[in-house]
Structure 1
Amino acid sequence: MAVFTPVSLDDLTDWIEQFDLGRVLALRGISSGIENSNFFLTTEAGEYVLTIFEVLGFEQLPFYLHLMRHLADRGVLVPAPVPNRDGEILHALHGKPAAIVSKLDGSSQLSPGPAHCAAVGAMLARMHMAGQDFGIRQPNLRGLDWWHATAPRVLPFLSEANAHLLSTEIHHQEAFAASAVYRELPQGPIHADLFRNNVMFDGERLTGFFDFYFAGCDTWIFDVAVTVNDWCIDLDSGVLDEARVRALLDAYHAVRPFSEAERTAWQTMLRAGALRFWLSRLYDYHLPREAEMLTPHDPAHFERVLRERIARPAPPLF
């Protein structure tokens, strides 16, 4: 959620008239994140988030926006895209795709305890189940194919040890993706980026998941692994906190029981989740795009997480 495309109040004066939102009263860029240009938007009708999409195109975005609408209609706490008077939820601003969504209450919980992790686990399971009948299918665009395409671009920047780690882990994941166990894993739409800063809380009450713009269809257990790798670790070392892991997994399992195939895949999926974000952070760090207010994340964090997941097993799913 950086700002690659600046937007002013004057830019929105005429553009906002297609919505039943009244006049724009305030606009403020959001500095966190790395993919799109995001703004807090205040109008006479209330508070919203305006996003200009910098990477995803008009042909890809219906998946994300309609998924959010689908989940919201089924009681999952997510931002709802705001239609214009013609019922359209995907628009153009400065020649780029744009959307307005409702703003969630609360704030991000950056120091979660077991109760926060349990709330996240239960809502993630509800989200997976609610997405089963979503009619649009789009792959996880940061999955194995992207890993293969991106690794050669970052390898020249790595030490010999890290280049070896990246190459061997991709081979490990490739072999597992071809296995019979992998084919048995339940799949559907996933969030794929459910970090602490993409969830809102009011105290210990979860008020919503947001930033679905890395979502895609993939294994649900990969989504759980990505979530655990952020919510349930010591950020300095990457070591898992067993109490938080147990709270999140047990709450998820109570809503949607894990399968035996998922139990078998669990340790490998935790490694896959760490690999995905190590690779994307390497790319953003060494091959950055220009943007206002953008500070790339340190890729060394997920290198540590990946090495930690390889070195010692995590608590079991159930």
Structure 2
Amino acid sequence: MAVFTAVTLDDLTQWMDQFPLGQPLALKGIASGIENSNFFLTTERGEYVLTVFENLGFEQLPFYLQLMRHLAERGIPVPAPVANARGELVAALQGKPAAIVSKLDGSSQMDPQPVHCFEVGTMLARMHLAAHDFPLAQPNLRGLDWWQATAPRVLPFLAPENARLLQDEIAYQSDFAGTDSYAGLARGPVHADLFRNNVMFVGERLSGCFDFYFAGVDTWLFDLAVTVNDWCIDLETGKLDGPRVRALLDAYAAVRPFTRDEASAWQPMLRAAALRFWLSRLYDLHVPRAAEMLTPHDPTHFERILRDRIANPAPGLANHE
């Protein structure tokens, strides 16, 4: 989240008439993240989050917002999109698509312990199963096709050893994506960005997760790998923390047991999850967009994680205990 499009309370006074939320009372930009313009919005009816979408178009957004509604209706703790008087979840604001969703209770847990990872694993498995019958389909827009198209744009900025690492890993993932093991992986709608700052806790109880705007249809194992690579690591080294990994994987498997194909694909998928965020952070650093408030992320964090996953294979899913 960031602020690329400046919005004021005056801008919202008439625009808000289409929503059943009363008049806007307060608006505060959210500085974290790098994709959309986000604001905490207080109205006469309560507290919400307003998002102005900078990259996604009107035709893409129904997938994300309808997915959130689908999950909320099935008891998954996610923000509920607010429809306007015409039943639309997306409305134009300053010429860009915008949406309002409910604001979750709690705060992010930035120093997770096994108890928090257990909660995340349970919720992620429940989310995958709840979304399995979601009728809309859209690919993960930051998947292999995007990696292959984006790597040439950042390679000129990299030192030779990092350029080789990036090229070699994309070749490895391209080969893996053509295997029978990969073809046999269970898939469906995934969050694809379930980092610590996208989950809320009240004490040790998970109260919700948000920011579904990287969601798409992909393998459930990729979603799990993205989550483990953030929740279950030492931030300084990128190395996996055994107790947190066990807590998250045990909780997930108790809701949705792993398949044989998933057990054999776990190591490549941990590498794929690290590659995806190393590459996107390289892209955001070297091909930036102007923003009023912007918090860039350090690409070297996921470079370390990728190098570690290559050098130190993690225990397989079948014997992670």
Under a length normalisation based on structure 2, what TM-score does the superposition of the two structures give?
Answer: 0.98
Structure 1 position 317, deviation (Å): 1.5
Match of 1:281 in 2: 281
Structure 1 position 149, deviation (Å): 0.5
| Structure 2 residue matching 1:32: 3-state secondary structure | coil
- Please identify runs of 4+ aligned residues in structure 1 that moved more than 3 A: none
* Amino acid in the other structure paired with 2:9: L
Q: Does the 8 Å contact 2:264/2:316 carry over to 1?
A: no
* Amino acid in the other structure paired with 1:276: R
Quick one: distance in 1 between partners of 2:224 and 2:37?
A: 27
Q: Does the 8 Å contact 2:27/2:40 carry over to 1?
A: yes
Quick one: distance in 2 between partners of 1:3 and 1:123?
A: 29
Match of 1:155 in 2: 155
Aligned-CA RMSD value: 0.5
**Does 2:73 match 1:68?**
no
**Does 2:238 match 1:226?**
no
Match of 2:251 in 1: 251
Bigger shift: residues 308-317 or 279-288: 308-317
Bigger shift: residues 112-121 or 287-296: 287-296
Structure 1 position 20, deviation (Å): 1.1
Q: Does the 8 Å contact 1:18/1:85 carry over to 2?
A: yes
Quick one: distance in 1 between partners of 2:122 and 2:303?
A: 28
Structure 1 position 293, deviation (Å): 1.5
Match of 2:2 in 1: 2
Q: Which consecutive unaligned segments of at least 5 residues does structure 2 have?
A: none
**Does 2:161 match 1:142?**
no
Structure 1 position 233, deviation (Å): 0.2
Structure 1 position 316, deviation (Å): 2.3
| Structure 2 residue matching 1:133: 3-state secondary structure | coil
Quick one: distance in 2 between partners of 1:292 and 1:114?
A: 37
Task: Give 1:92-241 correspondences, 5 Å limit.
Answer: 92-241=92-241
Quick one: distance in 2 between partners of 1:316 and 1:184?
A: 17
Q: Identical aligned pairs, as a percentage?
A: 73
* Amino acid in the other structure paired with 1:112: P
Q: Which consecutive unaligned segments of at least 5 residues does structure 1 have?
A: none
Q: Does the 8 Å contact 1:246/1:315 carry over to 2?
A: no
* Amino acid in the other structure paired with 1:214: F
* Amino acid in the other structure paired with 1:181: S
Q: Does the 8 Å contact 1:242/1:315 carry over to 2?
A: no
* Amino acid in the other structure paired with 1:224: L
Task: Give 1:302-317 correspondences, 5 Å limit.
Answer: 302-317=302-317
* Amino acid in the other structure paired with 2:289: R
* Amino acid in the other structure paired with 2:51: T
**Does 2:59 match 1:59?**
yes
Q: Does the 8 Å contact 2:114/2:243 carry over to 1?
A: yes
Quick one: distance in 2 between partners of 1:42 and 1:254?
A: 39
Quick one: distance in 1 between partners of 2:108 and 2:210?
A: 11
Q: Does the 8 Å contact 1:245/1:315 carry over to 2?
A: no
Structure 1 position 183, deviation (Å): 0.6
Q: Does the 8 Å contact 1:38/1:50 carry over to 2?
A: yes
Q: Does the 8 Å contact 2:195/2:230 carry over to 1?
A: yes
**Does 2:273 match 1:299?**
no
Quick one: distance in 2 between partners of 1:315 and 1:16?
A: 52
Structure 1 position 88, deviation (Å): 1.1
Q: Does the 8 Å contact 2:278/2:301 carry over to 1?
A: yes
Q: Does the 8 Å contact 2:119/2:248 carry over to 1?
A: yes
Structure 1 position 169, deviation (Å): 0.3
| Structure 2 residue matching 1:261: 3-state secondary structure | helix
* Amino acid in the other structure paired with 2:126: R
Q: Spell out, residue by residue over 1:129-164, the C-alpha distance to the aligned partner (whole angstroms, 9 max, x if none).
A: 001100000000000000010000000000110000
Structure 1 position 295, deviation (Å): 2.3
What is the number of residues matched between the two proteins? 318
Quick one: distance in 2 between partners of 1:292 and 1:197?
A: 21
* Amino acid in the other structure paired with 1:189: P
| Structure 1 residue matching 2:317: 3-state secondary structure | coil
Match of 1:20 in 2: 20
